[in-house]
Amino acid sequence: MNKKKLILFDLDSTLIENETIDEFAKITGVENEVKEITKDAMNGKLNFEQSLKKRVALIKGAPTSKIKEAVSTFKLTEGAKETIEELKNRGYIVGVVSGGFTVATDKIKEMLGLDYAYSNNLIENDGILTGEVNGVMMEEQAKGKMLKELAKRENIDLKDTVVVGDGANDLSMFKVAGFKIAFCAKDILKKNADICIEKRDLREILKYIE
């Protein structure tokens, strides 16, 4: 039997092609403002928690029905399904950790049969977003902490953990993991990676992990 291992993926621009908050911003017509903040956050120019609160405040008033509609249009990254299936065959516990939102990660968890999904909650009142957010993945070190916690829970050595991400928000888990894969990533993350993949096909990662 294969040794139990753990792999965690980022969601936006990694497991899916979309940037969740940018898509939601289209609903309230603040796409450009939100995109600018996302760009600065992913390049490490802005504190993640501050940038998240700023962006969520801008989508205040969006109906949750429209948010769910947007999520249903999200596109999985090329090769995502096959990659997750193969990782499970190889004995991996597979999860997604995202600075985004449960409305998206829960759906992707279900679609791909993931073991874990952690992200943040968009606060709503009577079917309308209040512009507030809370949750376990808001602060900058959250992904690294979650990786340690899950490894401990599953009794997996940190050297047997793999992470896949694309932006500054993934740095904390890159500092902790045994093997780090930058997927079509920002320079700030590439510098901290063991391997950088530039082809937008998740199956590429399978060449580098056992």
Active site residues: 10, 12
- One-letter amino acid at 14 equals T
Spatial distance between the Cα atoms of 130 and 57, rounded to a whole number of angstroms = 8
Tokens of 142: 């959250």
Sort residue 101 into left (φ over 0), alpha (ψ -120 to 50) or beta: beta
Sheet holding 195-197, edge to edge: 128-135, 116-125, 92-101, 5-9, 161-165, 179-183, 195-197
